Amino acid sequence: MQSYLIRKDILNIEAYKPGKPIEEVERELGLKGVVKLASNENPLGPSPKAIKAIQKNLKSLNRYPEGTCSYLKGKLAKALGVKKENLIFGNGSDELIDIILKTIKNPGAEIVTSDTTFVEYKICGEIMGFTVKCVPLRDFTFDLDAIKAAITKNTKVIFIANPNNPTGTYVNAQKVTGFLNDIPKDILVVFDEAYIEFVTEDDFPNLIPLINKKNIAILRTFSKIYGLAGLRIGYMIAQEKFIEYAQRVRQPFNVNSLAQAAAGAALDDKSFVKKTRSCVAKEKKFLYTTFLKFGIWFKKSAANFIFVRMNADTQKVFRKLLEKGVIIREMSQYGLNNYARITVGTRKENLKLIKALEEL
Amino acid sequence: MQSYLIRKDILNIEAYKPGKPIEEVERELGLKGVVKLASNENPLGPSPKAIKAIQKNLKSLNRYPEGTCSYLKGKLAKALGVKKENLIFGNGSDELIDIILKTIKNPGAEIVTSDTTFVEYKICGEIMGFTVKCVPLRDFTFDLDAIKAAITKNTKVIFIANPNNPTGTYVNAQKVTGFLNDIPKDILVVFDEAYIEFVTEDDFPNLIPLINKKNIAILRTFSKIYGLAGLRIGYMIAQEKFIEYAQRVRQPFNVNSLAQAAAGAALDDKSFVKKTRSCVAKEKKFLYTTFLKFGIWFKKSAANFIFVRMNADTQKVFRKLLEKGVIIREMSQYGLNNYARITVGTRKENLKLIKALEEL
């Protein structure tokens, strides 16, 4: 295989760097009981109702999944107050980013997003041959004015993570409404709301009523509050017409059977969602207090992770914490060498982090 | 969402039509005990060892999957006698088709395949903006001479399903070797070997030793012999360099945790594989004998399904069998209105099919 067969866009792409898995760290460093606060996962495990639903469906794994996620779609549509035709499911939200970009026409097309946000918008965009413009954040928050200013006649898609990953900040309802009124109607604005279930702030936008009025798409996931990151299932809410086109580029069996069953059951698991939400809220406050005590700067977060500035090179801090059995996410891939993203864990996990930080 | 935002290729694409799920047929027709012989699934269920492995991994579903499938990759590499660097996993082989096409450069690029084969080569190709040339089969078998004749300077990829789905025929080792020697070296030839584990014919090509000598890629799956269609996991074997590029376009967490665990365990489930293979061989012969008795023309198959010609419009036969609780796959999407594809089932399932056919 010579590189002349390879698409030029691909030759320059760097692959996504995931957080280190617990097993890998334990194996590499000969440690036990390693704590992972690196991937914004649910610290309480998966939804117990989801686990039960999986067990019920194991016998028929020889069968292909139901391709349209029909049962789950009906249930979710009801819960959200939208039509089934407004929904499409993906192998995680990652796949939905790819589906969106495959759907949108692309010769010369541009994407606008931020330079410090979920990197898959940029990576998927480049893979699909888009020009990706990344504008700086303002006070670690999506700068909608800067995004507006970056729009050209070639801009087809804008990605806004709200709350933003990795900074935990959000753009409020008023700003979003103004932004949507100001920009050209033919641009699709994708709001990635992976962490919306953790948000408690009153001025956070409720975009679902805008679905049929504006050219927007909302991404959500079962990976976070429902604790199903390992199963891969996310969804998009958008106009019927756009969903119809997106369905054409979706692979026929993109969402596995167990993910469908688990997600359906997790939606009913109100007590697990409540427990997770209150655990994260309480532990976030506990970490804020501790960081203040330690003189660690942080940004207040609307999500289940905290963006912090260390008084040292975080690549070094990252490595030292790793040796003590705590995995966090350092931010050097964004050029932010003094910053890290720390997922809110259980009290036990957070205490292990704090102890490790104290020892440094 | 107006269609002006949609890529032109997408406006003309028809979505893949999957086989009807059992639950859907039972619900629609008010039936019980419906038999599905439509999707070439394993009639014996999933590998029992795989189920056990899944159960062990349920607790950590809140964690993201290990992105590179490292453990499974090591195990499979050993089993196949290749290097880990020759392997990449996908959310089913479907995703690997997409990954291949994303990797290969595409302005003006062409794909050559057959007009009666797995439709995803064509659908994925069109989604990615390739021109897809589909040449006729010859005696229901991939016609390598016709494919050779269809090659132009723009041809980048050739897809050959071997054995072919839906006809069950195969191209033998001698023909494949000759073909690979004859065609330009810069074309990637993808052999989809989804059904290879069912093949008993001696002259079936063994392509793994050619991996580093020819510009080929092999697709395989855990959906068929291992009975894991519901979990979505397939793999590609190819040159290290090509795999390296393919890894760049792969989504970071494309294969779910349970699929990785299940596939690893299924590889060890030698007795299940043996049982499936002997069941399919025995039942295939039983169906051949019955079809001969009924005067139903069929093509001898190297896989776990049989391509048959009915003495009637198979859309009608399909519908009538459905009412009797048997799902088969009619072939009108290929313009083959008198043909059907029937998956080899258990004896009980096959008897239900035969009884239903008798009644027609």
DSSP, residue by residue, B65-102:
PPTT-HHHHHHHHHHHTS-GGGEEEESSHHHHHHHHHH
Tokens 């609307």 correspond to A302
Rounded CA-CA distance A141/A240 in Å is 31
Give the domain-ending residue among B205, B240, B268: B268
Tokens of A121: 């918008």
A289 and A172 fall within a common domain: no
Residue B5: which of A19, A188, A247 has the nearest Cβ?
A188
Q: What span, in angstroms and rounded, lies between the C-alpha atoms of A227 and A223? A: 5
Q: CB neighbours (10 Å) of residue B85?
A: 15
Domain check: are A81 and A203 in the same one?
yes
Q: Which residue in this structure is represented by tokens 């999506």?
A: A142
Give the N- to C-terminal CA distance of chain B in Å, as an integer. Answer: 48
Please give the pLDDT value at position A146: 98
Contact A183, A145 (CB under 8 A): no
Domain range for B14: 3-46+271-359
CB B236 within 8 A of CB B217: yes
pLDDT at residue number A173: 98
Interface mutation vs chain A, best among B42, B64, B103, most A CBs within 10 Å: B64
Residues A24 and A79 in one domain: no
Task: Tell me how crowded residue B143 is: count the other CB atoms within 10 A of its CB.
Answer: 17
Task: Judge: B188–A1 Cβ closer than 8 Å, yes or no.
Answer: yes
Beta strands in chain A (DSSP E): 35-36, 87-90, 110-114, 131-135, 155-161, 188-192, 216-221, 234-238, 297-299, 305-309, 326-327, 329-330, 339-343
pLDDT at B156 over 60: yes
Residues A208 and A91 in one domain: yes
B210 and B254 within one domain = yes
Q: Which residue has the higher pLDDT, B8 or A355?
A: A355
**In this complex, do A41 and B62 lie within 8 Å of one another by their Cβ atoms?**
yes
Instruction: Give yes or no for residue B312 having a pLDDT over 90.
Output: no
Contact A1 B228 (CB under 8 A): no
Cα–Cα dist A235/B65, whole Å: 18
Amino acid at A183: I
- For residue A145, which amino acid is it? D
Contacts of A91 in chain B (CB under 8 A): 91, 95, 232, 251, 254, 256
Are A206 and A341 part of one and the same domain? no
- More confident of the two residues B337 and B159: B159
Rounded (10°) CA dihedral B242, B244, B247, B248: -100
Task: Kindly report the pTM of this predicted structure.
Answer: 0.96
Task: State the pLDDT at residue B286.
Answer: 98
Say what the pLDDT of residue B272 is.
Answer: 98
List of chain A residues whose C-beta atoms are within 8 Å of the C-beta of residue B54: 54, 58, 258
User: When comparing pLDDT for B76 and B360, which is higher?
Assistant: B76
**Sheet of B216-221, strand order:** B87-90, B234-238, B216-221, B188-192, B155-161, B110-114, B131-135
Same domain, A247 and A281: no
Considering the domain architecture, whether residues B13 and B126 belong to the same structural domain is answered as no
CB atoms under 10 Å from CB of A324, counted, come to 17
- Closest-CA residue of chain A to B125: A249
User: By three-state DSSP, how is residue A33 classified?
Assistant: coil
What angle separates helix B257-267 from helix B70-80, to the nearest 10 degrees? 30
Question: Which pLDDT value is given to residue A312?
Answer: 79
Q: Do B98 and A3 touch (CB under 8 A)?
A: no
Residue range B219-225: mean pLDDT, rounded = 98
**Stretch B235-244: mean pLDDT, rounded?**
96
Catalogue the E-assigned strands of B77-213. 87-90, 110-114, 131-135, 155-161, 188-192
Please indicate, yes or no, whether residues A147 and A87 belong to a single structural domain of this protein: yes
Looking at the structure, do residues B75 and B37 belong to the same domain, yes or no?
no
CATH number at residue B219: 3.40.640.10
Cα torsion through B217, B222, B223, B225, rounded to 10:
110
Positions in chain A short of pLDDT 70: 1-3
Q: What per-residue confidence (pLDDT) applies to B310?
A: 86
Q: What is the pLDDT of residue A2?
A: 58
Contact assessment for residue A151 and residue A183, using Cβ atoms and an 8 Å cutoff: yes
| Residue B115, pLDDT score | 97
Residues B255 and B275 in one domain: no
Tokens of A147: 């995004």
- Partners of residue B92 in chain A, C-beta under 8 Å: 251, 253
**CB-hemisphere CA count at 13 Å for B43?**
25
Least CB–CB distance from B232: residue in A106, A253, A262: A253
Q: Which of A268, A292, A313 is the last residue of a domain?
A: A268
Distance from CA of A293 to the nearest CA of B (A): 30
* pLDDT over 70 at B360, yes or no: yes
Query: Would you state the structure tokens that stand for residue B116, as one six-digit string?
Result: 């009666």
Point out the domain boundary residue: A268, A300, A318. Answer: A268
| pLDDT band, residue B95 (cuts 50/70/90) | very high
Q: Are B252 and B105 members of one domain?
A: yes
Question: Which residues in chain A are closer than 8 Å to B24, comparing Cβ atoms?
Answer: 66, 70
CATH no. for residue A332?
3.90.1150.10
Domain count along chain A: 2
* Phi, psi angles (nearest 5°) of residue A145: -65, -40
N residues, chain A: 360
